[in-house]
Structure 1
Amino acid sequence: MQTIGSLNNWQRRGLGILALGGGAVGFASSMSAVLQAQVPTTNTIFPFTLAVAFFLWGIWCGVQMLEGGRQALYRNALFWLAQVPLLQTSMFGYAVFCGAQLQVFAKLSPFQLGFFGSGFGAQFSLNLGQPGARFAIGVNLVALCISFWLMRKCESADRALSTAPAKPA
Structure 2
Amino acid sequence: MQIWKRRVAGILAIGGGALGIVVISTVLVQQRKPLEWVFSLAFILLYAWGIWCGSRLLEGQPGAERSNAKFWLIQVPSFTSPVFSYFFSSGFHLTATLQFVPIETRVNFMLGSSFSYSLDEPSAAIAIGINVFALAMWLWLAHEARRMKHGRSTRVPVSGTQNGEG
Q: TM-score, normalised by structure 1?
A: 0.85
1:96 to 77, 88, 94: 88
SS at match of 2:82: coil
**8 Å CA contact retained: 2:18, 2:51:** yes
- 2:35 is matched with 43
- 1:16 is matched with 10
**8 Å CA contact retained: 2:53, 2:64:** yes
- 1:123 is matched with 114
Q: 1:39 to 1:71 in 2, by over 3 A?
A: same
- 1:109 is matched with 101
Q: Structure 2: which amino acid aligns with 1:88?
A: T
**8 Å CA contact retained: 1:40, 1:48:** no
SS at match of 2:13: helix
User: In 2, distance between residues paired with 1:132 and 1:81?
Assistant: 28
- 2:20 is matched with 26
Quote the offset at 1:56 in angstroms.
0.6
- 1:142 is matched with 133
Quote the offset at 1:43 in angstroms.
3.2
Root-mean-square deviation (CA, aligned residues, Å) is 1.3
Which structure is larger by alpha-carbon Rg, 1 or 2? 1
SS at match of 1:61: helix
Unaligned runs of 5+ in 2: 153-166
**8 Å CA contact retained: 1:90, 1:129:** yes
Unaligned runs of 5+ in 1: 1-6, 162-169
Q: Structure 1: which amino acid aligns with 2:122?
A: P
- 1:71 is matched with 63
User: In 2, distance between residues paired with 1:40 and 1:151?
Assistant: 40
